[in-house]
Structure 1
Amino acid sequence: MNKPLDEALSVEISQRIKSKAKKTFDNAYKAALATDQAQYVQGFLVFPGKPYQPIEHAWIELAESIVDPNLPFLKKDSQQLYYFPAASFNVTQLKEIIEESKEDYPEDDPLPIYGDAPYEYYGDVMLGGKNYLDAYQAAEAKSKEINQPNFENN
């Protein structure tokens, strides 16, 4: 069962960290650093309508809720957002991974984090391990469920 989305805290944190549109991973990273006891989470987001498929996304989770610093840019009904986590890191792990990535691959953006090979295919892309594939498949099934054409109204 997914944790509920805390809309008010999502907007508050988004404003506090000055989140930017189309920077889902950076926004979640900054939110994790700025929020006590936060877990940085990567996975997939599903909602009714375009693009009619899961999108790769990042957010933070607290003990009882999801906090999405990208919420103001989504322009979607928060009751119709479905989150599918693939990987989760506490702030200490997150900082270590980012530092190591910057040292090992200074020309590449350290986010998102995909872990170690072997990677699996999901969609048309090969990124992340089996946990990514599992999250993508669950998200894809939900996307198909909520984006079914309504033939009664045609």
Structure 2
Amino acid sequence: MSNISELERLLRGADLRVTAPRLAVLAAVHEHPHSDTDSILGLVRKTLGTVSHQAVYDVLRALTGAGLLRRIQPMGTVARYETRVGDNHHHLVCRSCGVIVDVECAGGRAPCLTAADDNGFVLDEAEVIYWGLCPDCTALPAPQL
């Protein structure tokens, strides 16, 4: 999907102007899901050259607001971005190396979990983060004390 015409179509479909920074950020997040802002900035700079932190923050905010990106922030970590939007998937996070992996919804369609008491809210999303050790970190020998 990082084909430029597809990215342009997504921007136009969200009533956003097609700009080089928006295209570069969308492509970076599509190619590197769960990236943080600094990583995205580095990827965008490889594509465009000079671009400010503020410009990338502004683009991330606009793309998230338009529903083209999803912002996630597992407890104790910086915000991450992904292009997988419109479904209610969850995430696996490694406590050791920090890798984040998508996992399908725990119970079907959104919000895919039923609250014990919705307190009158109309629920449309549930966010679940599973924590543990990824296969690579599990395979590492235990540290010697």
Give your verdict on TM over 0.5: no
Under a length normalisation based on structure 2, what TM-score does the superposition of the two structures give? Answer: 0.28
Under a length normalisation based on structure 1, what TM-score does the superposition of the two structures give? Answer: 0.27
More helix, by proportion: 1
More strand, by proportion: 1
**Greater gyration radius:** 2
